[in-house]
Amino acid sequence: MRGRTPLHAWIGLGLVVIFWGLNWVYPGLRTHWCFFFLWLGYCLVVDGLVFIRKGTSLLTRNPKAYAGLFIASVPGWWLFELINLRVQNWEYLGAEAFDPIQYLLLTSLSFSTVMPAVFGTAELASTFPWLKRKRLGWRIKPDRRTTLIFFAAGWIMLGLLLLYPRIFFPFVWLSVYFIFEPINIWLGHRSLADYTAKGDWSPMYALWTGVIITGFFWEMWNYYAFPKWVYHVPYVDFLHIFEMPILGYGGYLPFSMELFALYHLLIGLLKADWLRDYVQIAPQTPEQKTKTAS
């Protein structure tokens, strides 16, 4: 099946072309209705590229589960919006044009594309030649001592963040992972520790690569958008690539890990065990390659 461009990739490409143009040239307010369709297009194109390269993808493996990624993204990103009420690291220009209900609905629709975009691009990254084999590194085992340290560190980071946001603002992109990763381990949900316990860091590298690629497009398409987001990041507000300070891109790396932890916490709590291995960010095994090629 590999090599054939699926129909949804062409549909996605059409959405990107149309709504990228509208988002940058249409006068006045437009991003509130362009954003979702632009990013839906991105997600479909990336998913199609994954299918071409490995014969399977998030959408083709399970369309219902793929739709579930959009649903899971909404509470996932609203958690960071809640934290940002205290931190105030970003704001949305043009938000004042909408009443609270409109704002809630339109932003939630936009936020729904976060997990499909990041996980899809991470799976694409896992097919890159330098990530096709296991990348061995430091073993982090999910033993009681390690998980307790992670859990305590996460709450300490969150506390410092809320007490002194101007100093500890980077903990937005660390605390959530350090809190939820141990919870997933204790509850028997899937976690990144499933890989790091064996010293396999290839899924982590796939997440990091995927989220940096996704982040580039987030920031690029936001630059000429309206409404748009802008940043207020203490101490590192220099050398911008689009609206984002260059050092701010480093926050995307742990953010991808937080999304992974959040998603698997949600499906674990929902007892959706059939989705445990749905997000495939590790290099394919020979058995998987044979199965998808048939």
Interval 22-66: pLDDT, tens: 999 999 999 999 999 999 999 999 999 999 999 999 999 999 999
**Is position 58 within any domain?**
yes
Please give the pLDDT value at position 290. 44
The count of structural domains within the chain is 1
Of the candidates 65, 12, 70, 19, which has an alpha carbon nearest to the alpha carbon of residue 43? 12
**Is position 278 within any domain?**
yes
**Is position 219 within any domain?**
yes
pLDDT tier, 288 (very low <50, low <70, confident <90, very high otherwise): low
Question: Hunting for tokens 């729904």 — which residue is that?
Answer: 112
Of 271 and 133, the one with more pLDDT: 271
**Is position 227 within any domain?**
yes
pLDDT tier, 21 (very low <50, low <70, confident <90, very high otherwise): very high
Of the candidates 175, 204, 202, 189, which has an alpha carbon nearest to the alpha carbon of residue 263? 189
Helices (DSSP H) in 96-142: which residue ranges?
100-111, 114-125
pLDDT tens digits for range 176-193 = 999 999 999 999 999 999
pTM to 2 decimals? 0.94
Please give the pLDDT value at position 66. 98
**Is position 2 within any domain?**
no
Burial of 135 (0-12, 13-18, 19+ CB in 10 A): middle
Q: How does the average pLDDT of the chain come out, rounded?
A: 94
Please give the pLDDT value at position 34. 97
pLDDT tier, 289 (very low <50, low <70, confident <90, very high otherwise): low
pLDDT tens digits for range 72-112 = 999 999 999 999 999 999 999 999 999 999 999 999 999 99
**Is position 1 within any domain?**
no
Inform me whether the pLDDT recorded for 293 exceeds 70: no
Q: Supply φ then ψ for residue 200, to 5 degrees.
A: -90, 110
Please give the pLDDT value at position 130. 84
**Is position 225 within any domain?**
yes
CA distance 253 to 255: 5
Q: The domain containing residue 200 runs over which residues? A: 7-293
Alpha carbon distance, N-terminus to C-terminus of the chain: 7
Please give the pLDDT value at position 198. 92
**Is position 184 within any domain?**
yes
Of the candidates 105, 96, 110, which has an alpha carbon nearest to the alpha carbon of residue 34? 110
